[in-house]
Amino acid sequence: MMGKVYLVGAGPGNAKLITVKGWECIQKADIVVYDRLSSPRLLRIMKPGAEKIYVGKKTNRHTMKQEDINQLLVDLALAGKKVVRLKGGDPTIFGRVGEEAELLNHYNVPFEIVPGVTSAISVPAYAGIPVTHRDYASSISIITGHESPDKLNRAIYWDKVTNATGTLVFMMGVANIGYISQQLIDHGRPKDTPVALIRWGTWAEQDTLIGTLENIEAKVIENGFRPPGVIVVGEVVKQRERLKWAEKMPLFGKRILVTRARTQASDLVDRIEELGGEPYELPVIETLAPVSLETRNQVKAALASMERYDWAFFTSVNGVDYFFRHLEELGLDIRSLSRARIVAIGPSTKEALRRKGIVAEEVQGSFQQEGLMETFEHELLAGQKVLLPCGNLARTWLPDRLREKGLEVSLAYVYETVIPDEQDDEIIRLLKKGKIHAVTFTSSSTVTHLLALLKKMGDTDPVRLFDKVHVVCIGQVTAQEAEKAGLSVSIMSEKATMESLTDALCKLEDKVTAI
């Protein structure tokens, strides 16, 4: 059966700047063939079992020649695969999509071109530069700047291009900035014409350099300004001082490693993005329904007579979700728990119960097991019966304290926590290059699992990778686990909430090398 190829524009870098259709194509793909300028986060939405193939290019260093990429797409489709060819920006603007599509057409392979948000417009926008403006420019030219000067001289009619439009945008031209500037001056642009260079636009590394045609080359050399970048020439550059917005956001320039469970949508990720940061999600926990017959029988026994419980303590969102899965599987009714007082540790857990139609009592103060004992200390009486749905790696502190007070505790290990089968070379590279500003931990298991996962990926001393990374923890217990593992904790959030954690992130000073 013939497959199909989707030639998808990934946008300028920020994962959320891809189109909805592009996002959907990635989710459905059997194989994603991607470039260097595609966000690693987009690869995380691939379906389980899908394959990813890197064919990215750097200056004078190509992982795979363009002709070989073209043929690869054909071969994969002929093998019956649904393929996404993921390209930075828009595939039709210097993306060589024409060559790829032409060969696909030659072999009668079905394909679609899915437009993307081009870097020519979006990167200047993130630097506060609109490429058109009623008072400064009513037209724009998008020009390649990537080829050698000899080739550019043959490909570009400088006498016509120089003054053809109000704004000139050169793509991938940082290495040729001196040649480009001189050509524009020689063909009639004033030496004091404003110029902006924006590198890694919409990424955490976004950096902007402002000058004029006369001095921009010297500034590039002085500042060590390197590709990849977009060059904007024209009076619209003057708008930056009034319109720059990204740099004013509290987490601008910060890439934050978010450790989480594979299946959990993260409020923390959304909050980081709202504050201008770049979250890097790494699943370090995978939750599964209990596998062993012994554990399943233990859960069944704990839930068999729910009408006898005086208390039901839920310590996590996962505990809530899996508890209700077991109720459905066993054909049980939540109304059997009507006699019990239902308590949630933390607002997220309370919200998870609310979505199930249960308004739980909430722990006051510390959203930890210790806080539960403090909140209900005088109401927890000897002889009372407690149901405690939790994971197999849950802390034993709470059931131990309850039993010491004479309460009868029934543990129900409603889920198991394991380390995902994950291979992410990009996170190792980012950590080694000092490109991660902070890492967040929301539980003790995220600490131990992250370090174990990095070892599994091949790093023999993962603690060393965090020497220049802020370690930010929710709660004292998580912080203690991090310190025990050898990590240096920078800050502990005041409350065990995502809002409090992001507040802590905003207070951190730079610890990593300049990015």
The pLDDT profile of the chain, 515 residues, written as one tens digit per residue, is 899 999 999 999 999 999 999 999 999 999 999 987 678 889 888 998 899 999 876 544 456 889 999 999 999 999 999 999 999 999 999 888 999 999 999 999 999 999 999 999 999 999 999 999 999 999 999 998 877 777 777 888 999 999 999 999 999 889 999 999 999 999 999 999 999 999 999 999 999 999 999 999 999 999 999 998 999 999 999 999 999 999 999 999 999 999 987 666 578 888 999 999 999 999 898 899 998 999 999 999 999 999 999 999 999 899 999 999 999 999 999 999 999 999 998 888 999 999 999 999 988 766 578 888 889 989 999 999 999 999 998 888 999 999 999 999 999 999 998 888 877 888 999 999 999 999 999 888 899 999 999 999 989 999 999 999 999 998 888 899 999 999 999 999 887 778 888 899 998 876 544 33
For the annotated catalytic residues, the residue numbers are: 35, 57, 172
β-pairing, 207-212 vs 194-199, is: antiparallel
pTM over 0.75: yes
The CATH code that applies to domain 4-117 is: 3.40.1010.10
CATH topology of domain 121-248: 3.30.950
**201 strand-pairing partners:** none
Q: Is the dihedral of CA 225, 229, 233, 234 positive or negative?
A: negative
Residue 512 pLDDT: 47
Q: How far apart are CA 95 and CA 67, in angstroms?
A: 14
Q: Where are the alpha helices (DSSP H) in 139-280?
A: 149-155, 158-161, 177-186, 216-223, 240-243, 267-274
**7 strand-pairing partners:** 85, 113
Count of positions (residues) in the chain: 515
Contact 358, 334 (CB under 8 A): yes
Measured CA to CA in angstroms, residue 382 lies from 1, 308, 402, 406, 408 at distances of: 68, 15, 9, 4, 8
DSSP state of 142: E
Residue range(s) in the chain whose domain bears CATH number 3.40.50.10090: 255-287+420-506, 289-418
- CATH class assigned to 289-418: alpha beta
Residue 35 pLDDT: 86
The CATH code that applies to domain 255-287+420-506 is: 3.40.50.10090
Residue range(s) in the chain whose domain bears CATH number 3.30.950.10: 121-248
